[in-house]
Structure 1
Amino acid sequence: MKVYAAEDLRSEIAYLAYHFHWPHNELLALEHIQRIGYIRQVAGIHQRLGEGT
């Protein structure tokens, strides 16, 4: 099990909670790799919207 900074975890949770409105405990239950996957998806959507596509 990889341990990483609590601030990184808070940032991931805050980003996903803001966009998905999922409960805190459900976000914490996700594996780090799953959270990162969702973060990349949301970031990609924002990027495409910013480019007008």
Structure 2
Amino acid sequence: MTYPPGRLHEEEAYIAYYFHWSPDAIRDLRHRERLGWVHEISRINSRSYEEG
């Protein structure tokens, strides 16, 4: 099973937007690690929204 290229691009863009990491640095992450950062950014955003 392959990972959909569109989904990979979305994850890269999401992390790059919030953390300002380079595309190469993001692509070097293992899948599970990249998803962990996506979830962490989402959690931070949700908490910020709830507090705001």
Same-fold call, TM cutoff 0.5 = yes
Shift in Å at residue 40 of structure 1?
A: 0.6
Unaligned runs of 5+ in 2: none
Q: Confirm whether residue 48 of structure 1 aligns to residue 36 of structure 2.
A: no
Structure-2-length-normalised TM-score: 0.91
Q: Pairwise mapping of residues 25-44 of structure 1 onto structure 2 (< 5 A)?
A: 25-44=24-43
Q: Which runs of 4+ in 1 moved over 2 A?
A: none
**Aligned Cα RMSD in Å?**
1.4
Structure-1-length-normalised TM-score: 0.89
Q: CA offsets per residue over residues 1-53 of structure 1, 9 Å max, x none?
A: x5211000000000000011111111000011111100111100111111117
Length, aligned pairs only:
52
Q: How much identity, in percent, do the aligned residues show?
A: 33
Unaligned runs of 5+ in 1: none
